[in-house]
Chain A
Amino acid sequence: MSLFEQMGIVYALLGAAIAVLFAGAGSALGVGIAGQAAAGVVSEDPSKFAQVLILQLLPGTQGLYGLLVGFITLSKIGILGGGLADVSVQNGLLILAACLPIGIVGLISGRSQGKTAAASIGIVAKKPDQFVKAMLFPAMVETYAILALLISFLAVNGVQL
């Protein structure tokens, strides 16, 4: 058996890494952007801390979705339980492909959601009573991360080893 034929599990692990890595990076960017805006508001009015903290947290979910897909992948290929599964090259690449949606969409949507959350923090700064509406704008962006999560999850789940 040549080295290339044994690469299946490596591809699969690469998939898990991509899911966690990119989605996590997206969330980190998003939460960072929103956090800067939140810090600005709190420096003016500390009583808005709880509200802006919630808004800052909203772009954090992409990282969780990436973790979810990564976890499912790891347990599927047996890295978590000990005893590696026998993953063919084809299956490894399938899993890698399945992990791409949440990785890439997580990265981009996390960053965009962070920007939207920063703008929403501006709403809270000026009109605190419109908090619920402010919260809804970042949630719109998250929809697409959820769709990507679904496809990644269903695809990883569906690959028969």
Chain B
Amino acid sequence: MAVLQMQRVSICAMKKNRKAVLERIQSLGLMEISDILEGDAGFAHMDTANARASFEKAAAQADRALELLDVYAPEKKSLFASLEGKALIDAKVMGEMASKRDALQRTASRIQALDKQIAEKRAEILKLENGIESLVPWMELDIPMNLTQTKTAAVILGTMSGVGAVDDVYQVLAQDAPDIEKVDVTLISAGKDMACLVVCCMKQDAEAVEGVLRTHGFARPSQVWPKSPAEVKEDLLGEIERHKEEMETARQEIVSLAEHRRDLRIVADYYRVRADKYQVLGTLPQSERTFFISGYVPARQVGRLEEALKIYDCVIDVEELKEDEEAPVLLKNSKFASSGEGILESFGLPHKGEIDPTTIMTVFYVFLFGMMLSDAAYGAIMAAACGWALLKFPRMGEGMRKSLQLFFWCGLSTLVWGVLFGGYFGDVVNVVSRTFFGHEVSIPALWFVPLEDPMKLLMYSLGIGIVHLFVGFGIKGYMSLRDKKYMDFVCDTLLWYFLLIGLLLMLIPSSIFASIAGTTIVFPPALNFLAKALAIVGAVGILLMSGRANKNFALRIALGLYDLYNISGWLSDLLSYSRLLALGLATGVIAQVINQMASMFGSGVIGAILFIVVFVFGHAVNMAINMLGAYVHTNRLQYVEFFGKFYEGGGRAFAPFKENTKYTSIKEEL
């Protein structure tokens, strides 16, 4: 349970060792580079922008090629592929691939070129198909489409709207050009909106005839071929076939290149790591012979870094951080507590001066989650599934492993709560024994059944809420004490404890509490007096001391009054814990509904089969929805109610200079 202490490490080394030192630091991944010598005269910065850009481009190219391989030659992946994590490879293999990088880069660009080729072919085929489409109405024509004249006659091809038969055209011509006699019209096809015509006339009349027809909506076809439409179609089909074959060849070539998938992944990571290195290299101040590198290193790792760099001629300077320096945050927790780090990170890492609340939060998280889900069978399934995944895929990503660990513990907690409350798939034992075996058997709850005494559980839920809130508030007090702000501790924490504990002690013997709890609790008079005294001391203290930073007495009292109003905040925070009861009831009752529905089909063989179907489906859905509910609402209780009492977050995560790979992780050389 701690935020790791950071130290600033500055290294000055010979320029000739520049790359070796950087690579060593990168492969160790212990240092966040942060330069302090910015803008210092006398130091030059190396311009690495070009080198970096070309590495980044190469990495992007390999990535793109891999994406294309996934499209054309998908890998067989198991359902749990996302849990497998990055493939582990030797540094030696990485070196081998790096030496083959030019060939691999060519492979990558070849894959991209092939994909482009395929896309072009596809567009071409589409164009040809459109051409065929436009030919369909002309199919009956048996002369080349670009024929315009014979020895004496003109041939005019075109489309015209509003024509149903040849007579329509003759009529138009007779009307508007009565003196032209030698005209022959052939109807090739007549569609709904337009007809395709071939009009033959004497050469000298051609212009006049076309002019007349034009005024009635005649138009020449947009595309003509030197062959008859049937032959053209034949040709186009042949061309499409050829394109398709070429596409297939290109596709097969891509598929055959899929064997380089692994190598491409490695080389993509190689380029990525190099790009990072050059990015850092560009920021380092360099003199004629030496270069400097400076950054944050966790204090306990400084020795390892020094050890690793010993072989190079360099000076390593380690210093504590300055007072006002906001160090990056790296958490260090026990194996159990670190599983809750993901939850904490989602809220925000501790900022400077805050303690790391992960351990306490994780304990409560597991406890509250179990209470909300509270079904032994669901808990067992959850823990078993998470445990199996953790054992089966030891190389899964860090974040995923932490989450699964957390849910493993939550599952165990759910199991315990389920046993305490007597929930095993709701009341399946009762239902099955009653329906199929005739006499009802039940597993008694170890503690009590919430459905039979919900008020009791409500009391316990609120009680747990008080503990949770008081612990959070206590951490705030602890931080004041640690920072030697004793006045803050007394005024902001202790007085509130007085007030709240006093009020609680006053509430317990009251008749309201008695009616909720069902029993009357009588305190000795001294305790009653103490309760009143605590509450009054607390209230008066807060009234007077809350606004202590203000000299103006009236304002100070006003601020005190305003602070006292926070008591309603405590009340609403506390009532929020009633969800522990509500969500637990929701799981249990819905599970009972499912069991009841499943048992409606009677006790025969068919009844048993239908029972199993409804049971499996119903409980899968119920479990999923209630796990989601428990997760969301446990988060809420931690973030809003618990953290609201003491924690702000907002720290910056430690981002060391390391090998930021995407597909592989490189085995450390020993």
Contact = CB atoms under 8 A, between A and B. Distances in A.
Interface of A: 54, 57-58, 60-61, 64-65, 67-68, 71-72, 80, 131-133, 135-136, 139-140, 142-143, 146-147, 149-150, 153-154, 157
Contact of B346 (A54, A65, A72, A133): A133
Contacts of A150: 458, 578, 581-582
Given A60-B625, A150-B581, A67 B632 contact: no
Contact of B454 (A58, A65, A146, A157): A157
B420 interface: no
A139 B636 contact: yes
Contacts of A153: 454, 582, 585
Contacts of A154: 454-455, 458
Nearest to B581: A150
Given A57-B628, A157-B454, 18 more contacts: A54-B628, A57-B625, A58-B628, A58-B632, A60-B625, A61-B625, A67-B590, A67-B593, A68-B586, A71-B592, A72-B589, A132-B635, A133-B347, A136-B635, A136-B640, A140-B636, A146-B578, A149-B586
Contacts of A65: 582, 586
Interface residues of B, number: 29
Contact of A139 (B455, B582, B596, B633): B633
B378 to A, nearest CB: 15
A99 B346 CA distance: 38
A72 B586 CA distance: 11
A68 B590 contact: yes
Question: Which DSSP category, helix, strand, loop or mixed, fits chain B's interface?
Answer: helix
A154 B578 CA distance: 12
A143 B579 contact: yes
Interface string B576-617: 101101110110011011001000000000000000000000
A154 B455 CA distance: 8
B387 interface: no
Give 4 nearest A-B pairs by CB, closest first. Answer: A132-B346, A139-B632, A68-B589, A146-B582
Nearest to A140: B636
A47 B633 CA distance: 26
Interface string B554-594: 00000000000000000000011011011101100110110
A60 B629 CA distance: 10
B593 A71 contact: yes
A71 to B, nearest CB: 5
Contacts of A157: 454
11 contacts: A57-B628, A67-B590, A71-B589, A71-B592, A132-B635, A136-B632, A142-B632, A143-B636, A150-B581, A153-B454, A153-B585
Nearest to B452: A157
A57 B347 CA distance: 22
A126 B596 CA distance: 44
Contacts of A139: 632-633, 635-636
Contact of B596 (A68, A80, A131, A143): A80
Contact of A64 (B586, B633, B639): B586
A132 B592 CA distance: 31
Contacts of A54: 628
Contact of A135 (B579, B589, B635): B635
Contacts of A149: 582, 585-586
A60 B590 CA distance: 14
Contacts of B590: 64, 67-68
A153 B451 CA distance: 10
* B346, B347, B582, B633: most-surrounded residue (chain A CB, <10 A): B582
Contact of A146 (B583, B628, B635, B639): B583
